[in-house]
Structure 1
Amino acid sequence: MFVRSLVVAALACLATPFSAAAADSPRMFQALPPPSCGTPLAATGKPLTFKAPLDEAGRAGLMAGLFLTLHDPTGQGWSEADLKAAGGCPVARFAADDVVWTLFSGAGNAPVRVAIATGRGDAYFLVRGPSPIDAAAWSRTRRGLPGATAPPAYYLVSRQGDEPFFLFKVYDGPPAATLLADDIAAAAEAKAEGLAAYGDDGGAVSLLLETAAGPRAELFRPSGVSVSTPATLLAPDGGLVTEARNGDWVFRGSGFACRPAYGPFERIRVQVLDISDEGLDLACTWSTQDSWTVVDATFMPDKSTDKAYVAERIRQEEEAYGVTRSLSKLRPGRDEPVLAGRWWMDKDGQIQTMYVLRRGDYLFEVRQGLARESDIDAGSKVALDLIDQISAADAPAPATGEAWRRQR
């Protein structure tokens, strides 16, 4: 919502052409007249270096620093009004990825700098936060606010829609506008690798760098996880999801191995819907450019509820995606323990598939969204492989969170 507001506010600025001087500068960078609004920056900051594999100090500092920077325990973080005000305070323009970006200055609770471009769904934010050194020290106790033994750091993050924030740079002070423009351009043009990702649901932080030791993901606020607000992990956290030597991500409780790929579908994330022993619920997603596959494993030891539960889940999915045409019921093709299966075309023309099966105390859902009918054969093979994998494995032991809690 806030990205759309900023785009509207910036249209008038983006319509103004570059000056002749800007045309000769790198990225056609053009500083605008100093505004009376916003937050002035000293322009002295340089990027910090994070070399993989991260040692423990680097791992803890980067993860906790990103969490503390983007999570606001007071509930008074960025509001739409804050960001709309920033949208009226342009400080520079530059070219990147064949479009013109405008850099705005925020004040109050807004990020100190915001960059957007007309026609782009992503936006970039420069946010003041604790230094990684102070964040690492806070991480050891996690009490109160972090200390301030070092100057604040500045975190360059991007976001598109409801996706997690992605961290691209951490600076030891406020960077110059030209440096910030270059770093935003590198990210927008996919020339820069991300460092980490953050989702506010569950306070989920995932490192995109390898570590020498310690987990690459963590839920800093596990109490914030629910079916309606699932947490997104882009790496194993070492408790709910562990990593096998072959690269599989293995679910706690069910033991399901979320492999790196199935055919053209590549693993992109795990979602945590319930961390409790009574309803442990984890889901793995794979995708192609325009289709997706999900396996959801839910702890449900009471088999007497299966029929009603499956009927309700199918109803929920059909209601969520819409049904324009029911397709002929496609059976798995083998003697598989599938409780129910449904295929239909949704309101957007995608093929939706859903299988539900039981193994031990867990119910598994295999769901797919296929972009076109010609994808059915490839999608069906992936679904069959997943059904085979789930049904062939040994039944998992009942879920227990004791080992996971000990790691917390």
Structure 2
Amino acid sequence: MPTPPDRSAWQVFLVFLRLGLTSFGGPVAHLAYFRTECVERRRWLSEAAYADLVALCQFLPGPASSQVGMALGLMRAGYRGAFAAWAGFTLPSALALIALALGLAHAGDAVPAGALHGLKVVAVAVVAQAVWGMARSLCPDGPRRALMLAAAALLIAWPGAMAQLLAIGVAGLVGLAGLRPAADTPHAPLAVPVTRRAGAAWLGLFFALLLGLPLLAAAWPSQALAVVDAFYRAGALVFGGGHVVLPLLQASVVPTGWVAGDAFLAGYGAAQAVPGPLFTFAAFLGASLQGAPSGWAGGLIALLAIFAPAFLLIAGALPFWDGLRARPRVRAALMGINAAVAGLLLAALWNPVITSGIRGLADGLLAGAALLALMRWKWPPWGVVAGCAALGWAVAP
């Protein structure tokens, strides 16, 4: 039986390619873009199911937004869908950064300064829309609104990956102790095309590579094998993703002489100016390596190595997660966790989204207009993003 067009890997790729070309603003903004596209516009899954998926990816090491994207592709079109979602979301920025490393562009010119600021402003509207939608759906009563606000206050006062895990964990315990799902609340199962046996195999492969690659690199000295080991370890051991991975990458490539310190900083600056996940910085580093592999081969090897743990973990965890979330006690905990996830988004709306995007009254008015365009006038997100970028470029001094 042929695959329906809207469930094909090609369709998934096109959806995530558009997101990969327009999703500026960091991982929290990416989650907001995913929600708008896959929950509101396309109805691939419910608001509660999406929040449960985000909660799972917040607990797993690696790039949370990329893992959510892989999971959405996996549920939509199987393994090919997972790869299509990753490729569409990741390759635009990765290819641009490899080209930069090869000297085809300059870090400061990756995106004009005015356009980049316009993209930061529109991220305010995108995240604000997501906060409003998730709060209405996931925090319909006083206790859950209080949990959302408490989580947001904690994360504003104490930003960082550990605070995120703490807020989510405490909210889960509060939900387990004091919240009760309604008896008639329907459970919408996630369409996970992975059996538990296959999930256990993926998790086993994750740990086998994590433990085995260092042994292989020591037994058969090779820069290519050492590169795969270093980037796989960076993707496997970092909670919070994004900027948190930088110390691991710096320690792996600069002291060893693989990448010069100045080149590392230049690539990091350029990575801020391209859409998609910050983990694509690995592509720049792989292309900049001294000795083989380098160039396009090095960039793609480093890119695949740093994202491989994200796929192995999400494919391994999803089959077990769907069964767990159907249990009443787990659903009660998830009620609290989802409120904390909404609080995480609310905290991120303030810092870094508003603090880095709004520099004055004009920026505030532009963000307000973008929010109206998204929520009241129902403009497509890509059009709002493009419009704000063009306006920022036009009015830049």
TM-score in same-fold range (> 0.5): no
Normalising by the residue count of structure 2, what TM-score does the alignment of the two structures yield?
Answer: 0.20
Normalising by the residue count of structure 1, what TM-score does the alignment of the two structures yield?
Answer: 0.19
Could you say which structure has the greater relative contact order, defined with CA pairs below 8 angstroms and 6 or more residues apart? 2
From the two aligned structures, give the one with the greater strand fraction: 1
